[in-house]
Amino acid sequence: MLFNPILRSVARTGARRVPSGSARQATTSAAKVGPGVPASFLSNWYKLIGKSNVTYVTFIIGGVLAGEVLWGFGTDAVWASVNKGRTFDTIDWTKFKSDDDDEDDDDDDDDDDDDDDDDEEGGDDDDDDE
């Protein structure tokens, strides 16, 4: 794209239109205008965190981890509030309980006893030898 002659000429003239002195003055004057960050705060931050590369990297990693935890809790809370009553945890399962479930459990217990009887009948023949 930059090989296009029209784009090259626009890029050249655009670079010539911005004088270097005005750009430098704009950045210094913008730093003086507005509330910004107080110089004492920046100085203290640099003394505590920014001076050493190890503390700065630790600060960044800790900030990322803390931000991830907060973001996770926040999105989980939003998800839970939007889907209340629709997820497994928020459904009132007592509405679905029926009396037939108890009878089925008793039948299953009886079946288990029958299996145990088969094991006893075909058990050890060593008792007869004594």
**In angstroms, rounded to a whole number, what is the distance separating the alpha carbons of residues 16 and 65?**
46
pLDDT tens readout for residues 76-113: 999 999 998 888 888 888 888 877 655 555 555 555 55
Q: What is the pLDDT of residue 87?
A: 85
**In angstroms, rounded to a whole number, what is the distance separating the alpha carbons of residues 120 and 86?**
49
The count of other CB atoms within 10 Å of the CB of residue 13 is 9
Q: What is the pLDDT of residue 76?
A: 94
**In angstroms, rounded to a whole number, what is the distance separating the alpha carbons of residues 73 and 125?**
64
Q: In this structure, are residues 75 and 81 in contact, taking their beta carbons and an 8 Å threshold?
A: no
Distant-in-sequence, close-in-space partners of 74: CB < 8 Å, separation ≥ 6: none
The reported pTM is 0.44
